[in-house]
Amino acid sequence: MNNFSYQAPTRYTFGRGAEENIGREAHAEGMTRVLVVYGHSSARRSGLLDRVLKSLDEAGIAHMEMGGIDPNPTDDRVYEGIDIVRKNSLDGIVAVGGGSVIDTAKAIAGGAVYDGDFWDFWAGKAVMTKALPVGVVLTIPAAGSEGSGNSVITKKDGMHKISLRTDFALRPKFALLNPELTFTLPPYQTAAGIVDMMAHIFERYYSNTEDVEVTDRLAEGLLRSIIEMAPRVMAEPQDYQARANIMWAGTLAHNGLCGCGRVEDWASHGLEHELSALYGVTHGAGLAVVNPAWMTYAARTNPRKVAQMARRVFDVNDSDDSGAATEGIARLRRFYKSIGMPVTLAELGVKDPDIDALVRNVHINKGTPFGNYISIYPEDSRAIYALMAQDLC
């Protein structure tokens, strides 16, 4: 176990009707004039946005709105939000949505109190130490942004997508989690969210740091509970308890708990990033293809932790590490398929992948080598992309 610092101060209010606390929570954080950021029509159509605005009204909190945030949110909307905040002297940001909405809200919150260009933080030219307070009403369990200090923004000029990780500044002050708000998520989005949260755990779990037993067991426990609950939400979208477990797991998957005491990996996110960039695939669906391929390749030289995952998450009973790893990966693939996720590039809709371009781009963005559990050089990333093209089920 390595030395670490950890602080996850977000105040969670979880359960039915949680969103109706928005006025009280925003007031408790000292917000008086807020920007409400949201996505497309569903928040308005479902009546959620109205409930949020009503609660803010009742708490005497003035509000302006900025809707229409797209998946893979872009810097232009952040600049627009910063402008609204400054011109109207707003003092807080409320995000109503999933990861893209929350990440945009966070970027606005950090950029609004910074004299320079907000992109400086994402470009690594400045370190963010403060931001306006952000509150969240979560509607999509997937990205984990409601409890993390992270924000992923794409610069439109060049479509450069960068994840900023702050220890503290961008952690939401509060997050309101009502599982009922996820009842209407379409099956594909539900499943992609499940893969995404599992990937957030895998990226931390696959580490060469030894003796992180506590953190490993928490990670394995979250994976098991997600895998157990997933068939229930797929079979019955209004299964409140299953939705609740998935929602809470998604938050804990990415609030840093599963990284305490170890070096993390994040190679699979890098590999997936290029698929999304080149072929516009859904992040979670891309990860369902990338994660097992990466594990297959990693287990060839370093099967230990893959075997541990297989035994502890999928109850694989094989004392040989390579054998256990192979069987565990096969069960992971079957699980992804069972919830309607692709596990090959072809199933993802990428019939003729440009592996040269993928390899070139991933090393431009991630450097050479990248990863912790295994070090990835161009010959490795090429081999992993090639595995994604094979049907290994």
Residues near a copy of itself, by CB under 8 A: 1-18, 210-218, 220-222, 224-225, 228-229, 241-242, 244-245, 248-249, 252, 260-261
Minimum gap (Å) between residue 140 Cβ and a copy of itself: 18
Q: Which is nearer to a copy of itself, 153 or 201 (CB)?
A: 201
* Half-sphere exposure of residue 80: CA atoms within 13 angstroms, side-chain side: 14
Q: Which is nearer to a copy of itself, 175 or 267 (CB)?
A: 175
Minimum gap (Å) between residue 298 Cβ and a copy of itself: 23
Q: Identify the CA nearest to 374 among candidates 320, 301, 314, 289.
A: 301
Minimum gap (Å) between residue 72 Cβ and a copy of itself: 28
Q: Which is nearer to a copy of itself, 229 or 267 (CB)?
A: 229
Minimum gap (Å) between residue 28 Cβ and a copy of itself: 11
Q: Which is nearer to a copy of itself, 262 or 363 (CB)?
A: 262
Cβ contact 197:144 at 8 Å: yes
User: Which residues, 6+ apart, have CB-to-CB distance to 341 below 8 Å?
Assistant: 191, 192, 195, 284, 285, 288
Cβ contact 120:61 at 8 Å: no
* Half-sphere exposure of residue 310: CA atoms within 13 angstroms, side-chain side: 26
Minimum gap (Å) between residue 81 Cβ and a copy of itself: 27
Scanning the structure block, which residue is given the tokens 């003035």? 62
Minimum gap (Å) between residue 319 Cβ and a copy of itself: 15
Q: Which is nearer to a copy of itself, 150 or 361 (CB)?
A: 150
d(CA 107, CA 269): 21
d(CA 66, CA 77): 9
Q: Identify the CA nearest to 297 among candidates 275, 322, 272.
A: 322
Q: Which is nearer to a copy of itself, 145 or 154 (CB)?
A: 145
Phi and psi at 244, nearest 5°, equal -65, -45
Minimum gap (Å) between residue 313 Cβ and a copy of itself: 10
d(CA 111, CA 151): 12
Q: Which is nearer to a copy of itself, 166 or 296 (CB)?
A: 166
User: Which residues, 6+ apart, have CB-to-CB distance to 3 below 8 Å?
Assistant: 261
